[in-house]
Amino acid sequence: MNTPQLTTYDHALLLLNQREHACAEVAVKLKQKGHSEEDIDNTIQQLKELNYLNDERFAEIYVRSKANRSLGPTRIRQELIQKGLSSDIIKNAIEEAECDWYELAKDAKVRKFGEQPAQDFKEKSKQMRHLQYKGFDYDQIQYAVSQPD
C-alpha cells in the first residue's frame, strides 16, 4: 500500500502538533526529512505569518518549563542557544520569567541534599558543583548553600 508523500507544510504541522518548536528546530527537522531549503524557508514564513511558529513564545514556555524543573538561568540560556534562538530573545525570556532564581537554587539544594547545612568543605563543594551543573550562577549558589534552612 502506498502512503502519500507529506508536504513540507504538513510535516511542519505534525511537529508543531506535538509541542512548541523554535524556527531553527523546525528547519533542521524538515531538512532531515529531505525537504528542500526553499520549501523549508517558505513553510517557516507561512507558519510565522499564521503565528503557529513564534520564537518568543517558544522561549517563554521553555524557560518556564525548565525553571519548574529547578534548572538555573545559565543552563536554560545554553539550551536555548543550542536550539538556535537569538541572544535577545533568550535574554528577554529569562528576564520576563517571574522566577526567583535564588530561591530556586535553594530549593534545588534542599531537594537533592536535604535541609541540613553542609558539614564540611567537601560536602559544600559537592552541593556547589551540583547547583553549578543545574545552571545557577555564583551568587545564587552562595545564597543556596549558605542559607540556614
- Are both 119 and 137 inside the same structural domain? yes
Q: What is the CATH number of the domain that holds 71?
A: 1.10.10
Average the pLDDT over 65-86 and give the result. 96
- The residues, any chain, with a CB within 8 Å of residue 112's CB and separated by 6 or more, are 127, 130
Q: Answer yes or no: do 139 and 105 share one domain.
A: yes
pLDDT of residue 147 exceeding 50: yes
The answer to whether residues 106 and 142 belong to one domain is: yes
5 φ/ψ sector (left φ>0, alpha ψ -120 to 50, else beta): beta
Q: What CATH code is carried by the domain that includes residue 116?
A: 1.10.10.10
For residue 117, tell me if it sits in a domain: yes
| Residue 149 pLDDT exceeds 80 | no
Residue 108 falls inside a structural domain:
yes
pLDDT at 5 over 80: no
Which helix (H) or strand (E) segment holds residue 26: the answer is helix 23-32
